[in-house]
A and B are shown apart, each in its own frame.
Chain A
């Protein structure tokens, strides 16, 4: 059960070694930097050191309680990430698959709009635009 922020890429195989705590089901989600505009080359992510780790840890703990997880892990990258690179990773482990899927979905919804990260889209010409939060992200939280 852990939450990490880092600039380096992560290795899924290494992350899942010894992960699970005796679970019957492990679900992982990996977010990849994608270009929605046709001119973006990278994302630049800034975060709030200290609060980020604490918030991710709080959401992980809450997910564990709510979905009876045997293990969970959150890894979120920051800094400059090119299109196609990994941006974040969530793994959840539970006795049954439904709880593991739901917990991963729950964590993603919370991380999207409550973990203190801010994204900037970097275009090929060097232009940088802050990404605005979407109303749909806020709506997604109401499901829980």
Chain B
């Protein structure tokens, strides 16, 4: 499947782009992260501390074991600081 992968805040800065299209067979968010982290040093560094990474699948917050079945958009970002 093909996914739009979005990055926000310091994940976007570390990876060097706000979004990319990724072709993947990943079954879960965790599988997708493993694939992304293996792409290059920038991705590896962005995903080096998973305690600091949150994820949304199709704009809903999920945990890292969430399935990617039918997903179109996956976003990665640090813990949110609104309000």
Complex CA–CA separation, A133 to B56 (angstroms): 17
A61 within 8 A of partner (CB): no
Which of B6-14, B20-28, B42-50 is found at the contact surface with chain A?
A: B6-14
Contact yes or no, A48 B8, CB < 8 A: yes
Contact yes or no, B9 A133, CB < 8 A: no
Closest residue on chain A to residue B10 by CB atoms? A130
Complex CA–CA separation, A113 to B82 (angstroms): 6
B16 within 8 A of partner (CB): no
Interface code A46-69, partner B: CB below 8 Å = 1, 0 otherwise?
A: 111011001100000000000000
* Chain B nearest Cβ from A81, distance in angstroms: 13
Which of B32-40, B63-71, B73-81 is found at the contact surface with chain A?
A: B73-81
* Chain A nearest Cβ from B74, distance in angstroms: 12
Interface code A112-127, partner B: CB below 8 Å = 1, 0 otherwise?
A: 1111111110000000
Contact yes or no, A51 B75, CB < 8 A: yes
Contact yes or no, B83 A31, CB < 8 A: yes
- Count of A-B contacts judged by CB separation below 8 Å: 69
Contact yes or no, A133 B8, CB < 8 A: no
From known contacts A46-B9, A51-B75, A116-B56, infer whether A133 and B61 are also in contact, taking CB-CB under 8 Å.
no
Contact yes or no, B83 A118, CB < 8 A: no
Number of interface residues of A (CB under 8 A): 26
Contact yes or no, B80 A133, CB < 8 A: yes
* Chain B nearest Cβ from A101, distance in angstroms: 17
A26 within 8 A of partner (CB): no
Contact yes or no, A115 B9, CB < 8 A: no
Contact yes or no, A112 B77, CB < 8 A: no
Closest 10 CB pairs of A and B: A133-B79, A117-B82, A112-B83, A118-B9, A51-B59, A115-B82, A111-B83, A119-B81, A131-B81, A111-B82
Known: A47-B82, A87-B83. 8 other contacts (CB 8 A): A88-B82, A112-B82, A113-B81, A115-B80, A116-B82, A118-B81, A130-B10, A132-B81
Instruction: Give the interface of A toward B (CB within 8 A).
Output: 31, 46-48, 50-51, 54-55, 76, 87-88, 108, 111-120, 130-133
